[in-house]
Amino acid sequence: MKRIQQLLFIAAITIGFTTNAQTADEIVENYFENTGGEEAWQNIEAMRLTGKAGMGPQEFPFVQTVTDEGKMAIVVDLQGQQFVPQAFDGEMMWTTNFQSMEAEAADKETSDNFKQEAQDMIDTFLNYKEKGYSLELMGEETVEGTEAFKIKVLKKPVMVDGKEVENFSTFYFDKENFVPIMSEQTVKMGPQKGMQTQTIFSDYQEAGDIYYPYSITQKFNGQVGQTIKIEKIEINPDIDEAMFKMPVKE
């Protein structure tokens, strides 16, 4: 009887270890499987997200359009006036100057660095090997009260003031549902350089044939900086390519 109990105990440990042992690749595979299947994600050529963004007490409607080619444009409605706070045409990033309300091009280094990040417009982990990314399972942690797998995503270096800087993000995947619930990274340039950012993903809902987080909160050094509530997601909508191009000053 004692021998049987010992064998059952060993079997229980083995089963538990087999169930819990995961590789970074397996976690990502489970993520896509649980959010519609990789084929459904591969079929996405563009997405249009409509919702409201909040910064402190202010809240304003926005529409963000992204493509699998890395193009992106955000249109914000501020007290009835529409403007583009950020856009990327595949080669150049541009913004709207809040004082003059005129479009301004970002410097070449900023645009070149963003070109790599633009590969992740649809999803960071989609075709990550083809992007040249590598994954490392860092262990497990409890995040926002949820047990999670911690995965480091190492990307190609970026240039900061003419020097190469290591470029990576850390993602936390819910152990039960295998979906990202938070990402972390360090701001590498600009006025917020050196700040630690955390992006929290929640409220996964259907969006066409996939599931996508409809609530996104961005923190800077642990303090909430922006909240995003998505109200509608359109998959492969008709897009006017002109929206990504910086307007030419007349």
pLDDT beyond 80 at 108: yes
Would you state the structure tokens that stand for residue 64, as one six-digit string? Answer: 């963000």
pTM of the predicted protein model: 0.88
**pLDDT exceeding 70 applies to what percent of the chain?**
91
- The pLDDT confidence band at residue 12, using thresholds 50, 70 and 90, is very low
pLDDT beyond 60 at 85: yes
Q: Which of 8-17, 62-71, 82-91, 143-152 has the lowest mean pLDDT?
A: 8-17
Q: How far is CA 24 from each of CA 28, 147, 163, 235, rounded to the nearest angstrom?
A: 6, 16, 30, 28
Q: How far is CA 28 from each of CA 3, 25, 151, 178, rounded to the nearest angstrom?
A: 40, 5, 10, 8
Q: What pLDDT does residue 81 have?
A: 85
Q: What is the pLDDT of residues 34-69, one digit of tens each?
A: 999 999 999 999 999 999 999 888 899 999 999 999
Q: What pLDDT does residue 17 have?
A: 36
Q: Spelled out in words, what is the top-level CATH class assigned to the domain 23-244?
A: mainly beta
CA neighbor of 157 nearest in space, from 216, 210, 125, 109: 109
